[in-house]
Amino acid sequence: MYGAELNRQVEQMHKQITAISIQAQHDMILDERSDPFVVLAYTGRLLERVQALQTQAERIQLHQRTFRLEETRFPELEDCHEDVALRHRLWTALVEWEELTGGWLVARFEGLAPSAMEGLLSVYSRAVFKMERGLVPNKLLAAREAVTLISTEATQEAALEAMLDKVTDKWRHVELVLKPYKALKETYVMGGVAPPHEVLAVLEDSAVIMATIAASRYVAGIRAEVERLERQLRLFGDTLDEWLDCQRQWLALEPILTAADIQRQLPAEARAFAAVDRQLKDINRKPPPAKDRPTALQAPVLCNDNEKPRTAGTQPGLLEQLRRCNEALEGVAKNLESLGLNA
């Protein structure tokens, strides 16, 4: 249990390290026109966060050694620290140099100490050389607007992909639960006699998320995946509506048309109901063991149009079959109503 908690903390640390590394690439850090004190405040906060993560990493490693767990290494944390510290030193040196040279410019000439000045120049020259080696070439600043646009598009597309993954992951854990109906042999109904509210809620949430993704101006890169998932969700939603409608009508008619005297009086209606009864029982057949049971919409984004769906709610021909069953049950119900036998 504690090992799992440590693993969770390690995962969170990796996310925070990535976030700081991205924030350390902020435009203003490599823009000579930036306000030095604003940049220093920004890099100072980043440096504090990195140092806090280093302390946390040491604590995690200590606990892992204590409990004889595999010790996690954080090489990316050291890289992140070096990167942030380098940027912070750059702007610290710039502020110090401007203060130093500003003092020289207003000082009386006879008050200057050439040897001391030479020593400071040597110190800052070495610092500049070291920082220059550590900083990446900055030729991209000439194309700042284009880079910013590409970065924005990539970030927004990644956010849309995360939303798409969220929808897919939800459906990996949603099952169409079939429960025994009364004491009838091999007779099951979806969700018992009540609608499967969990499935309907997930379907509604998914529709809202998919509409948001599809309406985004940044959807172009993942449009094919979005449209494929939308088609499967739409098919599943239509199928579920017909399925529940068929089950509702069947539940209302079953007590009437399974009675022997009604079957003798209304043989045509009884035969039509029996045909639907056989089909619905086959559709709602006894569920397999949990490990082999398909989800309501199993990994829909991974199913290509030419693949046979591996899902419970999007089986080929199921929607059309349920529509025919509903038409038959509606006809039976109308005939019963005309005879005063309301379902």
Mean pLDDT in each 10-residue stretch from start to end of the chain (343 residues)? 80 91 88 91 96 95 89 92 89 85 81 78 73 61 74 88 91 81 81 69 91 93 94 91 93 92 92 94 67 48 35 73 95 89 67
User: For residue 312, what pLDDT is reported?
Assistant: 55
CA distance 311 to 297: 5
Q: How many CB atoms lie within 10 A of CB 283?
A: 19
CA distance 113 to 1: 66
User: For residue 121, what pLDDT is reported?
Assistant: 75
Domains of the chain by residue range: 2-136, 147-338
CA distance 331 to 309: 32
Burial class (CB in 10 A: 0-12, 13-18, 19+), 314: buried
Max intra-chain CA distance, the chain? 125
Helix (H/G/I), strand (E/B), else coil: 290: helix
User: For residue 303, what pLDDT is reported?
Assistant: 32
Q: Architecture of 147-338 per CATH? A: Up-down Bundle (1.20)
Q: Side chain identity at 25, as an amino acid letter?
A: Q
User: For residue 287, what pLDDT is reported?
Assistant: 52
